[in-house]
Amino acid sequence: MRGPTGSEGGLDYGHFVDYWYDGVADLDVHYSSGPANHFFYLLAEGSGPKTINGYACDSPTVDGRTVTGIGRMDAELIRYRALTVYMTATTDYSGARTATLQAAADLFGPDSTASATVAVTWSAVNVNS
């Protein structure tokens, strides 16, 4: 999932971001949510070029690492548990990382592939703690 660029239909897509950086908090929420969206896509589908439902997709990581997705269902279960059990209205990116790591551990075990993939995927969008 790469954020759209340029403009289409009169909309400016120049502010979408796929990776966390210090200035993300200063962006409009619709733009600053990009790293979380990219995290979920990478967690479910993995990185790199592929075709999904007939559409060509390319979802690079911040440092070029490869992420192997765990599938949509498991990614959804982790995200839902994190949102409903651990996150609040003030959860930041670091807190979201912690919440999804805990949710993955709850659901699949702390030493599971899913838990390891959550950690790698947050790092792939530059959220490292």
Q: Which CATH class is domain 7-124?
A: mainly alpha
User: The tokens 């790293």 sit on which residue?
Assistant: 35
- Confidence class of residue 16 from pLDDT cuts 50, 70 and 90? low
C-alpha separations of 103 from 43, 55, 63, 89, 120 in Å: 14, 31, 25, 17, 15
In this prediction, residue 6 carries a pLDDT of 43
The domain segmentation of the chain, as residue ranges, is 7-124
* Global pTM value: 0.84
**pLDDT for the residue 3:** 44
Q: How confident is the model at residue 103 (pLDDT cuts 50, 70, 90)?
A: very high
Question: What's the average model confidence in pLDDT over 22-49?
Answer: 87
Q: 14: pLDDT confidence band, cut at 50, 70 and 90?
A: low
Residue 7: partners with Cβ closer than 8 Å, 6 or more residues away: 13, 14
57-89 pLDDT per residue, tens? 888 899 999 999 999 999 999 999 999 999 999
Alpha helix positions (H), 22-87: 29-32, 34-45, 72-81
State the Cα–Cα distance between residues 121 and 13, nearest whole angstrom: 24
How many CB atoms are closer than 10 A to CB 115?
22
